């Protein structure tokens, strides 16, 4: 099925460890996004990529880096995980302009940092 695929679905890290969350979309969308979801906070934008080759900070970028590897893939890296990064992470994609019909979200990665 067409959509946004995230891996892994679950991950437990120790404080200080690093990891990369992977995201791929097969809808030929130009824009991709990483959000984190915390209880009572809604979703907050970490980083986004308006198009291949560009990335920009969102609301909560500290402690994260991203790579737009190609048009399909947008990865999120935690260089040194902290307990405050325990969250559910969602990747999303969209087109903008006349083709804008909202965002398509992946199913999420549940990350626990101990």
Partner 1 sequence: AQSVTQLDSHVSVSEGTPVLLRCNYSSSYSPSLFWYVQHPNKGLQLLLKYTSAATLVKGINGFEAEFKKSETSFHLTKPSAHMSDAAEYFCVVSPYSGGGADGLTFGKGTHLIIQP
Name the site residues for partner 1 (rule: CB under 8 A).
31, 33, 35, 40-45, 48, 50-51, 56, 58, 90, 94-98, 100-108
Q: Least Å distance between CB 88 and partner 1? A: 9
**Contacts by 51-59, CB closer than 8 A, 24 or more apart:** 58/33, 58/34
Q: Least Å distance between CB 93 and partner 1? A: 11
State which residue, 14 or 102, has the beta carbon closest to partner 1. Answer: 102
């Amino acid at each position: 099925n067409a959509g946004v695929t995230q891996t892994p679905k679950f991950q437990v890290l120790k404080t200080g460890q690093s990891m990369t969350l992977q995201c791929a979309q097969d809808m030929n969308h130009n824009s991709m996004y990483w959000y984190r979801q915390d209880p009572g906070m809604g979703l907050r934008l970490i980083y986004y990529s308006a198009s291949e080759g560009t990335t920009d900070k969102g609301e909560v970028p500290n402690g994260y880096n991203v790579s737009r590897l190609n048009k399909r893939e947008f990865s999120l890296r935690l260089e040194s995980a902290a307990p405050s990064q325990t969250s559910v992470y969602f990747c999303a994609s969209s087109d903008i302009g006349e083709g804008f019909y909202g965002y398509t979200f992946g199913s999420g990665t549940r990350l626990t940092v101990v």
